[in-house]
């Protein structure tokens, strides 16, 4: 993303490493004759990984949606809301 005004320029650049499930990005802001860098690094997890972590913690998936409007979660969904609960002890 790029934002340009008479006073400042903002650039968002990034690199995606799908094998390591990591995103490295940087917001670059040019303003008042200076350069400001705002680095961001994230490691993401797939829903199946979260399900396994929950299972190991004694939880189970109760519901999963693709939005707060409870739209269905599909392979095309870009995000998810996952609700976990304690697994049955019986």
- What is the pTM assigned to this prediction? 0.65
How far is the C-alpha of 25 from the C-alpha of 16, rounded, in Å? 8
Domains of the chain: which residue ranges? 2-43, 47-86
* Residue 72, CA distances (Å) to 36, 59, 60 in order: 41, 21, 18
Name the architecture of domain 2-43: Single Sheet (2.20)
What are the contacts of 50-58 at 24+ separation with CB within 8 A?
Answer: 50/82, 51/82, 54/84, 55/87, 58/86, 58/87
Encode pLDDT of 14-54 as tens digits.
999 999 999 999 999 999 999 999 999 999 999 999 999 99
């Amino acid at each position: 993303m790029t934002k340009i005004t008479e006073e400042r320029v903002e650039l968002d650049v990034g690199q995606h490493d799908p094998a390591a499930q990591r995103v490295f990005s940087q917001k670059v802001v040019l303003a008042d004759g200076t350069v400001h860098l705002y680095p961001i690094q994230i490691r993401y997890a797939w829903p199946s990984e979260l399900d396994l972590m929950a299972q190991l913690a004694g939880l189970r998936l109760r519901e999963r949606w693709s939005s707060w409007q409870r739209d269905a979660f599909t392979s095309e969904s870009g995000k998810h809301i996952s609700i976990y609960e304690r697994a049955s002890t019986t």
